Structure 1
Amino acid sequence: TQFQFRTIGRKPLIAVAITMPPWPGENEAMPRKGIWNASFIGLPNSSTQLLNSIYMWMIILTLQIAKTL
């Protein structure tokens, strides 16, 4: 299954994906060319950096919990 995420506007896109059963390994995923080029428009400010760091900790915590299951 191929998929690509896209956001419009000034806010960054944040996506969390969980696979069940757990992902079998790093060799399982294959990069594909999507219909949109990967890009970032805009400069982060202190509020977006704080928000991004909170989301990063949420992702790390989720992955750590998933490892214990």
Structure 2
Amino acid sequence: MKEIFIHSEYIKLDQFLKLADCISTGGMAKALLAEGQVSVNGEPEDRRGRKLYPGDRVNVVDCGEFTVSRES
């Protein structure tokens, strides 16, 4: 599982997917989510604007598993 560090209270899922190098554009995020390729904390997720907080776990098919951490 890869740890992705954020510098704010939360990060939106589409921004997170870019930071984790799973996608390169917002349009790709929309398609990935529509295809059911992303889950957050074990539950399927299709909202690009979903707020992720430190401790959340994200699984992306063919990209990997990630955990959100806050940089101190």
TM > 0.5 between the two? no
| Larger proportion of helix | 1
Asked which structure has the greater CA Rg, the reply is 1
Which bin holds the TM-score, normalised by the shorter protein? under 0.3
State the TM-score, normalizing by the size of structure 1.
0.22
